[in-house]
Chains A and B, each alone.
Chain A
Amino acid sequence: MQCESCGERDASIHYTQIEKNEMQTLHLCEQCAAEKGLQPGVHAGSFPLTDFLAQMGRSGPEAPSSGPCAFCGLTLDDFKKSGRLGCSHCYVTFDAHLGGLLRRLHGGTQHVGKVYLPPDPSRAEQQERLAGLRRKLDRAVQSEDFERAAQIRDLIRTMEGAA
């Protein structure tokens, strides 16, 4: 199959997107896909985690810290073998290795979901949490889920009252 964009090279990337409930598949060569900012692999169905892990640390001579993690003792090799991290500190210890991996797995690295508020929050954490709740409220109102919107609004009021 030929690339639908340049019509010259073989299409090796088949990118399906859904817009306004219409499923559309683009057949592109790697070069055209890259120009359109469609990274191969990001939306693929299966992620052989070990393949990604095997590629880690090949990034160059200035390879950053490979542990072991000061909190749990996990080494980068342990992680490559098992695909499991040892503790929350591992995300800091192996940060330089994880960014690329997370991008390939998820297509991004920035969490945009719920903002967590720990049991004894700092003022900044409270503000961030409030901002997250307001975003949530907006989404509930947009989707006309007013019962949920009311719950979130009550939660916001309680938090603002306590602050």
Chain B
Amino acid sequence: MSDNGFQDVGLGWLEGSGVHSDIVLSTRVRLARNLQGHAFAARVRDGEREEILDLVRAAVQETALSGGAGYELSATPILGRRLLHERHLISRELAGLAGDTPPLGSGLFMDPQGGVGVMVNEEDHLRLQVILSGLRLHDAFHRVDELDEELGVQLPFAYHQEYGYLTSCPTNVGTGLRASILIHLPGLVLTKEIGKVLQGIGQVGLTFRGLYGEGSEVVGNFFQISNQTTLGKSEEDLVEHLQKIVGRVIQYEMGAREILMRDAPTVIEDKIWRAYGLLRYARSLSFDEVMNLLSGVRLGMSMNLLSGLRVYTLNKLMIFARDAHLEQAAGRPLREAESDLHRAAYVRRVLATEGDVSADAVDAQDDRETS
């Protein structure tokens, strides 16, 4: 496998392009596939995982992933695996962050641009995935679908006339498709409407979770919304359904923001400027604190209360202010307290160079307050 740095791999989705990218950070679609003739992860024999990785590695060379990055995770240093996990490219299990190093045969292949990739020997033999910036569900599905076509003509996938693509867990069988969007909903959280919205999501065949997937907690008002069922509907229908509901959720969020600005504009502006001030000048910040403050700043940017900030800058801070990315920048391991100092210094530096909010916004606010 080629030796790769980690500099820019898989970071295209930070760019802040795409529809509603101030509210929807990213769109992800993944397809679960298994190889015919090999047992699934739970019953796989010694040596079989490496065989599967070899088969996928060879097949990948004939696809759009050829010439991209490849990682054999059992041979990748822990820092590299942590970086890939912080970038949402591999699961916690595949990164071996639960304690053990990843078992032999665990792999990741990414296309040269880093948007499309395949995880190998996770819960399913292959997990084809794509992550794009903003709300681009159809685009994301089409890209991963193309990779599926390219891999499917070379690798015999486990497929059943009635049940479709066969997966390790029956919750993924059929299309094997999980489409999810990462969405920022501070308005609904502040107006305490979020519970109702999430309940509604649950009633229309969708599910939600925190920032880093299953079991992860909700920080910074970021939620992942995805389809719950995978069988009995076509890929296009699953994607379209999610698209529709996400559109509704965005409308609710915008409505909540209007209510906040109508009923408590000074409270909201104060919250946003305090968040900006802390990020801009604090000397020690935990990651959760950064995420919660970034939520305030993102809201301010999205509502045009803070100008001169780009979505890209805020997205970048969410990833590069994480522990492994700070350690990579420092060139050495960091203790927790040290990490918080490095994090604050990094955030200050980024905001000073690309996040200096314009004086106009400050003046406009001052005028209103004093008039």
Contact = CB atoms under 8 A, between A and B. Distances in A.
Size range of the chain A interface in the assembly: 35 or more
A88 B43 contact: no
Nearest to B161: A111
Interface string B141-166: 01001001100111111111011111
Contacts of B159: 116, 118
B341 interface: no
B203 A85 contact: no
A21 B200 CA distance: 14
A106 B167 CA distance: 14
B240 to A, nearest CB: 8
Contacts of A102: 163, 170, 173, 231
A106 B234 CA distance: 12
Interface in A93-138: 98, 101-102, 105-114, 116-119, 135-136
A18 B234 CA distance: 18
Nearest to B166: A88
Given A18-B244, A101-B170, A111-B175, A88 B158 contact: yes
B4 interface: no
A118 B157 contact: yes
A110 B34 CA distance: 19
B76 interface: no
Contact of A16 (B177, B200, B236): B200
A14 interface: yes
A74 B39 CA distance: 10
A101 B153 CA distance: 31
A146 interface: no
B152 A116 contact: yes
B157 A46 contact: no
A7 interface: no
Contact of A88 (B154, B160, B229, B233): B160
A18 B204 contact: yes
A143 B229 CA distance: 23
Nearest to B35: A88
A85 B40 contact: yes
A111 B164 contact: yes
B163 A47 contact: no
Interface in B157-204: 157-160, 162-171, 173-175, 177, 199-204
Contact of A111 (B40, B163, B207): B163
A84 B232 contact: no
Nearest to A44: B202
A109 B231 contact: yes
B171 A49 contact: yes
A111 B234 CA distance: 8
- Nearest first, the 6 A-B pairs at minimum CB distance are A45-B202, A111-B164, A108-B232, A86-B43, A88-B158, A16-B203
Given A25-B203, A78-B42, A85-B170, 16 more contacts: A44-B202, A45-B201, A46-B202, A47-B228, A83-B170, A84-B169, A86-B39, A102-B163, A107-B232, A110-B231, A110-B232, A111-B175, A116-B152, A116-B159, A118-B157, A145-B138
6 contacts: A45-B228, A88-B160, A105-B229, A106-B174, A136-B236, A139-B234
